Amino acid sequence: MKKNLFYTAVILFCLIISPEMQAEDHFEIDQSRTPVQIEKKSFSNISKIEIKHLYGDIFVRESTTKQVELEIQYLDQKAGEQVSCETSTSNNILSIQTNYKGGTNNNNRPSINYIISIPRNTGLSIDLKYGNIKMNPFHGPFMADLSYSDLSAKSFTGSTPSVKIKYGNVSIENAPDILVNAAYSDVKIGKANNVNISGDYNNYVFNDAHSITSNKSLNYGDIKVTTVTNMNLNIQYGDVKIGNLVSNLDAVCLYSDIKINNVSPKISNVMMKGSYSDMTISLPQEISVSFDLNMNYGDVDISKTHNVTFTQQSESETKIVKIGKIGSKSPTGKITVISNYGDLKIK
């Protein structure tokens, strides 16, 4: 089935960084916008950093020192007169805020960048609009609230990071556990342990994940996974493509198709409840699984290359019921499909 998906164009910004950090952190540099003014500040005894910023980029790296080092780059000739960086400390919390004189309702907003060096295990919270975040490996607690902004990060290895984003991109290479609440965004995560996703009008790409869960319905967007062990989804008007399913899939679908290119011989459970949704699953020849298929206004096609045994089957103009097993050994897993106006193909 083909669905009409709605996507909104994402605003992209160039990344700008000082030359002295290029070799060490491999940040990208926009040579066309050299800072016209640079300020540097240092802070001690900081356990958490809160940044509220707009119209500019933030570059984060961890350091082995106990000092927080902040570099403020003004990118426009009169930026210092129209925009400023306000810093304050209280109870070991460093607050960094961008302030615009006369507000931000003008078309020629000057921008500034923040380059911040943070002691390892220091917490970081970022509220950013119209900018980019680029991060090296990060070990502290992390939270981000982004609008019209991108996040690019190497890895998170501290407590579960939380990312809320609208109209942007998220790219993370490694995140053991992560919460993502997105809207009109693209999310790409390389390797992850437990991922919890929510929101509408998003596309997700995962390389290797142990668990992917959506507690609420995902609407209007696709999910692509190379390898996943456990997946629990509620999705509407989107497609799910899985390269390799290791153990469990529990999916509730509406106008959404699921395609599984391969499952492990040790698969445990595949459950799909769908309406106006098709499912295609490719099984290895050596697998032995039981199946319970209940299709209303849909077809079932099981490849003749499999050894199929039926214990119950019935068919009418509107309903198909098939119960049995695939393979010659005792089943190690089960496939259950309850579908209305959808087709099932087992290859």
Q: How confident is the model at residue 265 (pLDDT cuts 50, 70, 90)?
A: confident
The total of structural domains in the chain comes to 1
Whether residue 261 lies inside any domain: the answer is: no
The confidence score (pLDDT) of residue 103 equals 60
DSSP tag of 23? H
Where is mean pLDDT largest: 153-162, 222-231, 303-312? 222-231
Asked if the model's pLDDT at residue 277 lies above 80, the reply is yes
Query: Which range among 16-30, 175-189, 194-208, 223-237 shows the weakest confidence by mean pLDDT?
Result: 16-30
Query: What's the pLDDT tens digit per position in 129-148?
Result: 999 999 999 999 999 999 99
Coarse DSSP helix, strand, coil percentages of the chain, rounded to the nearest 5 percent: 5, 60, 40
DSSP single-letter state for residue 21: G
Residue 75: per-residue pLDDT: 86
For the CA atoms of 159, 160, 161, 162, what is the dihedral angle to 10 degrees? -140
Partners of 232 in the β-ladder: 213, 250
| pLDDT tens-digit series, residues 158-189 | 789 999 999 999 999 999 899 999 999 999 99
pLDDT at 5 exceeding the cut of 90: no
Between these two residues, 176 and 69, which has the higher pLDDT value?
A: 69
- Residue 162 is predicted with a pLDDT of 96
Residue at 281 is within a domain: no
Q: Is residue 127 part of a domain?
A: yes
Indicate the pLDDT class of residue 108, thresholds 50, 70 and 90: low
What is the average pLDDT score of the chain?
Answer: 88
Q: Give the pLDDT of residue 106.
A: 57
Q: What are phi and psi of 284, to 5 degrees?
A: -70, 155
- When pLDDT is cut at 50, 70 and 90, the band that residue 9 belongs to is very low
**Is 238 within the bounds of a domain?**
no
Per-residue pLDDT, 34: 83
What is the structure's pLDDT at 266?
83
Query: Residue 305 corresponds to which amino acid?
Result: T
Report the alpha-carbon distance of residue 307 to residue 293 in Å, rounded: 17
**Looking at residues 100-117, what average pLDDT do you find?**
78
* pLDDT above 70 as % of the chain: 88
Q: What is the DSSP string of 107-162?
A: S----EEEEEEEETT-EEEEEEESSEEEE--B-S-EEEEEES-EEEEEEB-SS--E
Residue at 129 is within a domain: yes
* pLDDT tens-digit readout, 114-126: 999 999 999 999 9
**Residue range of the domain that includes 112:** 22-159
> Would you say residue 222 has pLDDT above 60?
yes
- Report which of 153, 159, 213 is spatially closest to residue 181, judged by C-alpha positions: 213
Q: What is the pLDDT of residue 3?
A: 43
Average pLDDT over residues 50-58: 96
